[in-house]
Amino acid sequence: MFIRLALLVFFLDQLIKFFVHRFMYPGQSFPIFKNFLHLTYVQNHGAAFGILSGWRLTLLLVGFAALILIVYINNHVKKRDFLHIPLAIILGGSLGNIFDRLFRSYVVDYIDFRFWPVFNLADIMINVGFFLVLVQIIRSKGDDFK
């Protein structure tokens, strides 16, 4: 289940990015809800919110280290634990952004709330996954690790 969920997140992220990259040009924006939510194509050469722009190799190395850490943690939590789901969606989102950095040299971002930097589905999955991990750790008082 862990790998299947991670791959589902990865492929869905890449499918959306494919269509954005194929049918839009950088900077192009379409209002979904005018002045609130737009579909905007941004080529992000940095990390979240464009920070560390130009640090591609460093971001790739950190990304690969994060992948290893996620798999390690997943292998060391109790099998009955809820942590496998958020770890899988973090893994899928991380794979999506790392794939972009490897093969495009930038991450395709497209969700634009106009008052926040543009982001993508992978970013959402990473953040939701981390939130769910924190909630589970707090609820279990750390008992979920072997």
Query: pLDDT tens, position by position, for the chain (146 residues)?
Result: 889 999 999 999 999 999 999 999 999 999 999 999 999 999 988 766 666 566 667 777 887 888 888 888 887 777 666 888 999 999 999 999 999 989 998 999 999 999 999 999 999 999 999 999 999 888 877 565 54
Instruction: Spot the catalytic one: 109, 112, 143, 144.
Output: 109
Is 123 labeled as catalytic in the residue annotation? yes
Residue 89's nearest CA partner among 117, 50, 131 is 131
Is 81 labeled as catalytic in the residue annotation? no
Please give the Cα distance from 5 to 95 (Å, whole number): 12
Instruction: Spot the catalytic one: 13, 123, 143, 144.
Output: 123
CA atoms within 13 A on the CB side of 43: 13
Question: How confident is the model at residue 35, as a pLDDT?
Answer: 92
